[in-house]
Structure formats: structure tokens, C-alpha cells
Chains A and B, each alone.
Chain A
Amino acid sequence: MVGLRRLVAGSAGTLLVGMFAGFVIASAVGVFIQDSGMFGASGESPIARAYMLGLLQRDPNSIVGIRPNQSIAQRAAELQGADTSRTSTSIQPLSLTYIGGASVGTYSVHIYAIGLRNSQGVDQFFPLALTVSGGKVIRSE
């Protein structure tokens, strides 16, 4: 009985270690493929995409966890601005195109082209480069 229990415990432990190794390997391979653009992967970071969608949808709450910490006054001002622009519908996003990016060490850069129509009906077309590190957008310009 003790031998059987030990066998089951040992097997479960081996299985768990294997699952952890498999998860880590799959994650590392996924990141490599995503960054290198192999197999048709765009190289686009899910964090960068989420940040861009949060910006275009004027929803600061959706990106609060993936950008550098801000003071309470900055966050309040941002929410005010988002509420105003949402109610006035002054800006209409027309397109969001991921142009490309690259990584060095823990830093990765992702560049987007954004098409917008402003309140005067004028179409604007401009880029935005995001630097991502440690799961956060640390620079946006």
C-alpha cells in the first residue's frame, strides 16, 4: 500500500514537472516565433496590441495594467479626457496597422500606423512606436 502510494506520488510529481517544462518550452518557442515572424507570425506583441486598442477606444482602464504607473491626478485627468472625447465622438479611428518591430534583450519595439478622422472631418495618418519591457509599455511616441 505504501509502495503504491509512493509510486503514485512520484509519478504525479514527474508529470507536474513535465507539464511545467512543456509550458515554459511552448511559451519560449511561441515568443521566438512571434518575434522572428516565422510561420506567418506578424511579430506583434499582445501587450502592444492591447495598448493600441485601449488608446483608440479611449478606454484608459483597459490599459492601466500594461503601462507605467501614473499618479492619481494623471489617471483622473486621463479619465476626464476620455469621457469628454467619447461623449463628443470628436475622433473616429479609421485604421490601425501594425508595421513591424524588433527585440533586443528584454526590450521590444512595435510600430503602428494610425488613421483617424478628427472633429473637423480631416483625416490624419500618423505613426506610434511603443517600447515594451517586462510586460509593460514603457515608452510611447
Chain B
Amino acid sequence: MNETRAVATLSVFVVGILAGIVVHTFVDKGPVESPYPQLPKVEEPRAAHDVIAAIGADDARTLSRLVDSTMLTDLDMALQPITDVRGTRFVGAVESEGRLLSAYVVTGKTTEGIDFVVGFVLRVTNDQVVGVN
């Protein structure tokens, strides 16, 4: 008798879980449809890869040779509030009329030791990094 009751209770619980999943599929609609066209993804540009590799390796000397002082200032702002870079990841790149945007996420710690993530984009034209956003 007890076994039957346990099986019945468990069965009702499982049915409940399935019903919850079904309800979620109706409630969670995901991102709304965008009326604007999407550009196709392209490969990571070499110049941008070199810059992000220097950041990931904490190699200030190489970075100083790859980008000018204006871009270093922009890069510093883009990385805020991260002061200690722990990881870099290329997330994608798109191109429009010869202008490439190569996007990265950087994980690291703030000065208070809090884990944080920031995203920034290197603008590439004619195989050269020409800006940081």
C-alpha cells in the first residue's frame, strides 16, 4: 500500500515537472523578431588577433607597438573596471564595405577583486586596427 502511494506521488510529481516545462515553452518566447537584416560573420582579422593576444598575455611592450596612444586610451576605457585581465575570447566579426568590426569579451578582476566581464570591439580597415570601441 505504501509502495503504491509512493509510486503514485512520484508519478504526479513527474507529471507536474513535465507540465511545468510545457508552461515554460509557452511563456518564454525568446528574443523578439528583428525587422533589420543581419550581416554575415567573417573570420577574425589577423591584426585584431595580435592586439587581443598581447592583452591576454599581459604583454604591454607588444601592445605599445601595435596601437597608437589614442587607441591605448580608448582601450583602457573599454576595459574598465577590469584591472587584472584573466581571459580574452573572440566572439565574432562582421564586415561592411571594407570596414571590419572584431568583437571580444574580456574577463578579469576589478581593483576590489570582483569578477567582471566587459565587451569591446576593434575596428579594422586595410588589415590595420584603426579604433577601439
Could you list which residues of chain A lie within 8 angstroms of chain B, going by C-beta atoms?
10-11, 14-27, 30, 44-46, 48-50, 52-53, 56, 93-105, 107-111, 113, 115, 123, 125-131, 141
Number of interface residues of B (CB under 8 A): 51
User: Secondary structure at chain B's binding surface: helix, strand, loop or mixed?
Assistant: mixed
B residues with CB within 8 A of A: 8-9, 12-25, 27-32, 34-39, 41, 78, 89, 91-94, 96-97, 99, 101, 103, 105, 107, 115-121, 123, 133
Expressed in whole angstroms, the Cα–Cα distance for A20 and B18 within the complex equals 10
- Bound together, the chains give a CA A20 to CA B27 distance in angstroms of 13
A-B contact pairs, 11 of them (CB 8 A): A14-B9, A16-B16, A20-B20, A22-B23, A99-B41, A100-B91, A105-B115, A125-B97, A127-B123, A127-B133, A129-B119
A126 B133 Cβ-Cβ under 8 A:
yes
A46 contacts B36, CB within 8 Å? Answer: no
Of listed B24, B31, B107, residue having the most chain A CB within 10 A: B31
